[in-house]
Amino acid sequence: MKLTVTFILLVVLLGCGKDSINGMNIPVVPKTDPPASHPTYLALGDSYTIGEAVSQAESFPYQLKANLNQVALTVSAPQIVAVTGWTTGELLAGIKAARLTSKYDFVTLLIGVNNQYRGNSIELYRAEFKELLNTAIAFANGNPAHVFVISIPDWGATPFGAQSGRDVKTIAKEIDDFNAVNKQETLNAGAGYTDITPGSRKAATDVSLVASDGLHPSGKMYKEWADALSPSILKTFK
């Protein structure tokens, strides 16, 4: 198969500085098409999927790929549709703009922190998350067992959260409320669910889990996410 460069999304979010927990916008990571024999991987999300403030190799999609490669499952470079600061609605629009035509052997979905940060309603989140989940299942050849949702981490546990002027207990409760929705919808659809939120809260006492910007996960925390995801994904290829 000839190598081609994937479409790169460039999206400017209105009021990003005040309306987005994730800060500046980052384009989608380029990808080259793998040999047809290698399992293909689509990662959907926001800055947590891109790996804001860490190297590409330290992001969870690339650490997940590395984990799988170590057990003789050679996965292609992930195709990433994600922009720092995206909400569920913006991810839906970004997927449409990307005009993806391929199907993938598995898909990950992590989205919602900016819905919480902006004060968007749970009802809106549920509706848009369900649409995203159905979209992810369609990309996974209609197989929900090949879609893996990751819970929203708690940004209130970071140094940025502590200095944000917001009540960290309120942040934690709201994050839990959003995660209750994405977990319910994920399990109802028959997709996989990985809860990384408790681990993300260790950042309150372990700064090694936080990137240099004081907000996003470090490569060490992303490794924990990849390690948690790997067993479930391996089962789909047995």
Instruction: Report yes or no on 142 lying in a domain.
Output: yes
DSSP E strands: which ranges in the chain?
Answer: 41-45, 79-82, 106-109, 147-150, 192-194
Q: Which residue has the tokens 């989205």?
A: 111
Q: Which of the two residues, 224 and 38, has the higher pLDDT score? A: 224
pLDDT band at residue 72 using 50, 70 and 90 as cut-offs: confident
Question: What's the rounded mean pLDDT across residues 47-51?
Answer: 98
Q: Say how many domains are in the chain.
A: 1
- Tell me the whole-structure pTM to 2 decimals: 0.87
- 7, part of any domain: no
Residue at 163: amino acid letter: Q
CATH number assigned to the domain comprising residue 214: 3.40.50.1110
pLDDT at position 31 is 45
Q: Which residues touch 81 (CB under 8 Å, ≥6 apart)?
A: 9, 28, 42, 43, 44, 91, 94, 95, 98, 100
- Distance CA(154)–CA(161), nearest Å, equals 9
93 within domain boundaries: yes
Residue with the bigger pLDDT between 34 and 14: it is 34
For residue 147, being part of any structural domain is answered with yes
Query: Is 162 within a domain?
Result: yes
Could you report the per-residue pLDDT of 86-97, keeping only the tens digit for each? 999 999 999 999
Report which of residues 6 and 119 the model is more confident about: 119
Q: Tell whether 11 is covered by a domain.
A: no
The yes-or-no verdict on residue 234 having pLDDT over 80 is yes
Range of the domain at 176: 16-235
Q: With bands split at pLDDT 50, 70 and 90, how would you rate the model's confidence at 238?
A: confident
Residue with tokens 């609605």: 89
CA–CA distance, 194 with 189 (Å, rounded to integer): 14
38: in domain:
yes
Please report whether residue 6 resides in a domain.
no
* Total Cβ atoms within 10 A of residue 69: 12
Q: What per-residue confidence (pLDDT) applies to 32?
A: 44
Q: Residue 199 pLDDT more than 70?
A: yes
d(CA 102, CA 117): 32
Q: Is 95 helix (H, G, I), strand (E, B) or coil?
A: helix
Residue of higher predicted confidence among 155 and 21: 155
